Amino acid sequence: MMMDTAGLSAEHCVELLDTREVSCRELVSAYLDRIDRDDDRVHAFLRTRRELALAEADGFDRDGRTGLQGVPIALKDILCTKGEETTAGSRILEGHVPIYDGGCVTRVKAAGLVSLGKTNMDEFAMGSSTENSAFGVTHNPWDPDRVPGGSSGGSSAAVAAGFAPLALGTDTGGSIRQPAALCGVVGMKPTYGAVSRYGLIAFASSLDQIGPFAHTVRDCALLLQVICGKDECDATSVELPEPIVVPEAQDLRGVRLGVPTGLLEQGIEPGVRESFDAGIRSAKGLGADVVEVALPHAGYALPAYYLIAPAEASANLSRFDGVRYGLRREEAGDTIVDMYGRTRAEGFGAEVKRRIMLGTYALSAGYYDAYYGMAQKVRTRIREDFQAAFGDCDLIAMPTSPTVAFRIGERVDDPWAMYASDVLTVPVNLAGLPGISIPCGLSEGLPVGLQLVGPAFAENRILVAAHALEQALGFDPRPAATAEAQA
């Protein structure tokens, strides 16, 4: 049967499978066919796994299924997948085939979700636009001349374009929430440690976290149920104090929302602010008590982040040297140092090199205390600011991105303008807190995201509030550009 997968939620997929209105093969085929038909203009996927995916679907049709079994999912190409190429969007790992599954991939497979393939991303998750991929730019399904956000732009674009009902991305400084906002989908960064990082190709180990993309908050919760929890292979992972619950419809009576007004005084596009304010009015209409809170050190988050994250990247990426895996460039007479240099010069892109150099400098003798050490002190202050704010409110609300999706090429020559895309998401990573982005309206015909942030391990509190607000806002997740292309 012919299926329109645009805007199709994972819950609806389960319903179709449970009632046998479609088979697993028909559902998976519908998504793969849409990718084949439309991904040339989006480039959300780096590679798909049609035969393997259909074989898994056939197995569920033959042996029976339950829960999320048979529902398709897309995986960011930074998650190690046994026997399948995993590149982190970099030439230096082109052709790299892991011999094991990452923790999240293991859980996804155990739940019976069917991977459609690997999605495009900024190289080693370093970027806010998915223009830094070594394998081409991803386009926003709402407007192909604009970026989908980054670094998980392939995953967010895949969900927005109807290529997958669910996807996994990673969030180091906003790389789930920001592309979710720019593509008009739901994206959540769990509390640091709530999800195993085993098998995640590291960018900045104290900041990286894996999380879901979906069309709805309930879908997001369903995927969180799969991926959250302690993993013996990741010493930083923990069991959540309470299991993830799929939220039911309710209002926001008794919920205190804090708005950090001082953080929103400049740099926010008027249309973004208007949509955010409309979202806050909706929250009040649902009974929420909205109060002003202060995050006095949040303005220092970007400079602190761009010392801490590059420093950790400098250490993590030193393993990519041409010796153990990935690209190797050497010529007759080369010393091992020559081989290192040539391999890394050819294998790494410009943004990755920039951050490695920034991080190496920040960690160098004579500069460590002045730069890296000071940035860590700022990080502590930011964490303390959030703790104080949560003494006055249950959740903090702010726009996810200060702008809607910008044009491809608009910021590639201005690193600071690109980094500023994450000004409202980075503080949350530095504090290790959970946050979700939900669509709250349109500005200039492009999606605007509203971000809800909670205390550590307050995922359920966030999901309940986000679901209530989502229902009140009634955002249509189907991009007009996608509908026109379909027609």
Q: How far is CA 186 from CA 194, 237, 356, 482, in A?
A: 18, 24, 31, 18
The confidence score (pLDDT) of residue 147 equals: 98
DSSP state of 318: G
Total-model pTM: 0.96
Structural domains in the chain, CATH included, are 10-250+458-486 (3.90.1300.10)
* 386-434 tens-digit pLDDT: 999 999 999 999 999 999 999 999 999 998 899 999 999 999 999 999 9
* 307-331 tens-digit pLDDT: 999 999 999 999 999 998 889 998 8
* 323-378 tens-digit pLDDT: 988 899 988 778 999 999 999 999 999 999 999 999 999 999 888 999 999 999 99
**Catalytic annotation present for 151:** yes
Which of 29, 151, 156, 282 is catalytic? The answer is 151
Which of 133, 152, 155, 175 is catalytic? The answer is 175
| pLDDT higher than threshold 90 for residue 266 | no
User: Using CA atoms, how far apart are residues 187 and 179, in angstroms rounded to an integer?
Assistant: 8
| Contacts of residue 27, Cβ cutoff 8 Å, sequence gap at least 6 | 3, 13, 16, 17, 57, 70, 71, 72
* 224-260 tens-digit pLDDT: 999 999 999 999 999 999 999 999 989 999 999 999 9
Structural contact between residues 27 and 60, judged by C-beta atoms closer than 8 angstroms: no
| pLDDT higher than threshold 50 for residue 281 | yes
* 74-94 tens-digit pLDDT: 999 999 999 999 999 999 999
The confidence score (pLDDT) of residue 481 equals: 60
Which DSSP string corresponds to 130-181? Answer: S---TT----BTTBTTB---SSSHHHHHHHHTTS-SEEEEE-SSSTTHHHHH
Backbone angles phi, psi at 268, to 5 degrees: -95, 125
Which of 76, 196, 237, 421 is catalytic? The answer is 76
* 134-190 tens-digit pLDDT: 999 999 999 999 999 999 999 999 999 999 999 999 999 999 999 999 999 999 999
**Catalytic annotation present for 175:** yes
Structural contact between residues 321 and 344, judged by C-beta atoms closer than 8 angstroms: yes
The confidence score (pLDDT) of residue 484 equals: 52
Average pLDDT of the chain is 96
| pLDDT higher than threshold 60 for residue 11 | yes
237-274 per-residue burial string, b: 16 or more CB within 10 A, e: under 16:
bbebeeebebbeeeebeebebbbbeebbeeebbebbee
CA proximity to 219, closest of 177, 189, 188, 173: 188
> What's the mean pLDDT in 109-127?
98
Percentage of residues of the chain with pLDDT beyond 70: 98
Percentage of residues of the chain with pLDDT beyond 90: 92
User: Using CA atoms, how far apart are residues 253 and 246, in angstroms rounded to an integer?
Assistant: 19
